[in-house]
Structure 1
Amino acid sequence: MKKGIKIFLIALLLVAVLVVYTFSTYNSLVRMRENVDSKWSQVENQLQRRADLIPNLVNTVKGYAKHEKEIFETLAQARSKLLNSSTVEDKAKANDELSSAISRLLVIVENYPNLKADRTFVQLMDELSGTENRIAVARKDYNEAVKQYNMKIKVFPNVFIARMFGFEERQYFEASSQAKSVPSVDFSK
């Protein structure tokens, strides 16, 4: 073989290796980018789940507080009627109302652990706790995918292919400084 043909074949082989490497790296980067996007989607799904649970939790707490508030208001009104009644008939009627309100309060106190609102609250709290755990796992998985992707686009010689095809670094999902402080929870509103 002539020297020129050998050089041509070697150059052709090098170009073929470079083309194969470029396509392989490009496809790998696309798969990794899609993995990052998929992991982010899971984070968003869990954040949405939490966002959907919060109103139910708040409404349950408000409903439960309203339930207690109603019985206390009924008790206060019945007591006031009793104290302000002047005739026997009015006192008897007020006494019946107060007795009825007290009976309802005792039933509530006696059955407190079995209240549907209480079970709903506990169930919602369990769901919220589970969702918080899912968010932590999804966030960890996302950050791991971002780490692998970012490393892949930064290492030599992949960095040239990544730049050529517009692969950009992804951001980690990190807790903000506000998230590190303990939130204040007030159910009195």
Structure 2
Amino acid sequence: MSTSFWVPVSQVEVEFEIKKSRFIARAGVAESREQAMEILALMQQRYPEAWHHCWAYQLGSPHSPYSAAMNDDGEPSGTAGRPILNVIQHKEIGNLMVVVSRYFGGVKLGAGGLVRSYSAAAEQAVSALKLSLYQPKVALKIACDFSKEQPIRHWLSEHNGDIKQVDYQNEVFLTVDIVEELQPTLLAFLAGQGARFVSS
């Protein structure tokens, strides 16, 4: 299974009104709870008069996130944070935080109306995001003959590999980062060069 996934490139903000209630939604990248809370703090600063700042996030790969959380911030339980998280979970986007701030307009929306409104706000914000493909990398150590260093360097440069360290001893040791999915391809290439992975 692919370990790559889409992540937001930047933050976006959208706004709409339902029965005089203003909903302002911001979506952006968060690789940690701290980053997610920074987006929440930004919305609290930008809209201090809003009645509610409801939010949800999902960290890591959307296929197997390592953390997810949500908050209704005073709205009836299950009418805000859960709908926002549901939108996030139905998208193939990782490391995503969504905050929806609401100004109450005097007309009660009811539980169903709140769920629909918070879902719509989150959907609009997430749909407006610019995305990039995140490809997890792994650190590997390669041992090779001196004559094979250049071919290996060339392969790495063509496959978005990063050389972190080079040690010259009785042979060359290269510490590299490569896209995880390319590890079997690199292994096959190294075998053809008489090179090998060593424990780092």
| TM-score normalised per structure 2 | 0.23
Structure showing greater Rg: 1
| TM-score normalised per structure 1 | 0.24
Q: Which has the higher strand share?
A: 2
Higher relative contact order (CA 8 A, sep 6+): 1
